A = this chain, B = another copy of it.
Amino acid sequence: MRQGATSVDSALEELARLPFEDLGFARLDYHRALRKGFPEVVLGTGKTPDQVAAISQRLAAHHDRVLVTRVDPEVFEAVRQSVPDARYHAQARLIVVDRRTADPTGGMVAVLCAGTSDLPVAEEAALTAELMDCPVQRFYDVGVAGLHRLLAVVPMLQAARSIVAVAGMEGALPSVVGGLVSAPVIAVPTSVGYGASLNGLAALLAMLNSCSPGVAVVNIDNGFGAGYLAAMIARNAAA
């Protein structure tokens, strides 16, 4: 039996001394870069421009990289007042601060998408992975309706340490890719489609039911999450 003399109260006291900063509306987790290898990422949705700007300013004071997702240009306007070297990627709707000087050290991440309409999500994944020290190769509009477009790039996929496969509608791309390559495939369903696509649920369900092993799935339109996980895998992969 595991038994300890320490009470819960004293253990909580220890944890109470870990580093974070309380802005009232947000508690910034400066310790996360140590635990996770990358600073806290800000989800822009549901935050006011002022809140995003204040959070970004504080994070930029502690870290050499800042990433804010799902923001419109007006939020970026507020952010760059206090973080002048912030950049905005309009298609991917990301704010990025990147003060790194070293070259990327991780393995290669391949980002595929099925159709042109999936590009914003694919770019969100690709930019995230690049910010996490991984070189990225993009293969866009390689959906299964024209299989030779996908098959033509398979040899290039062999070099990838992890693969992000983005698709809406029936979401078949990850299954087909997963059957052809040996790298882990992170599948991203998108809300591209209409009617019975149910805003991406159809693609999500299809990907969860993939008959190809080696495929896992993130939330609909979550390019960030896929790029993050793909980079976690690729930066640890042996050459």
A interface list, Cβ under 8 A from B: 1-6, 8-22, 24-27, 29, 31-32, 34-38, 40-41, 43, 45-47, 51, 55, 70, 114-119, 140-149, 151-152, 154-155, 161, 169-172, 175-176, 178-184, 186, 189, 191-222, 224-226, 228-229, 232-233, 236-238
Contacts and interface: CB of A to CB of B under 8 A. Distances in A.
B140 A24 contact: yes
Contact of A236 (B6, B161, B203): B161
A93 to B, nearest CB: 12
Contact of A214 (B14, B141, B148, B229): B229
User: What 6 pairs between A and B have smallest CB-CB spacing?
Assistant: A4-B17, A46-B117, A195-B220, A216-B216, A172-B172, A202-B205
A194 B183 CA distance: 25
Nearest to A51: B116
Contacts of A191: 195
A45 to B, nearest CB: 6
A15 B11 contact: yes
A194 B182 contact: no
A31 B1 contact: no
Contacts of A26: 116, 140-141
A118 B40 CA distance: 18
Which of A5, A12, A209, A226 has the most CB atoms of chain B within a 10 A radius of its CB?
A: A209
B151 A15 contact: yes
A59 to B, nearest CB: 13
A229 B216 contact: yes
A120 B43 CA distance: 16
A219 B195 contact: yes
A222 to B, nearest CB: 7
Contacts of A214: 36, 228-229, 232
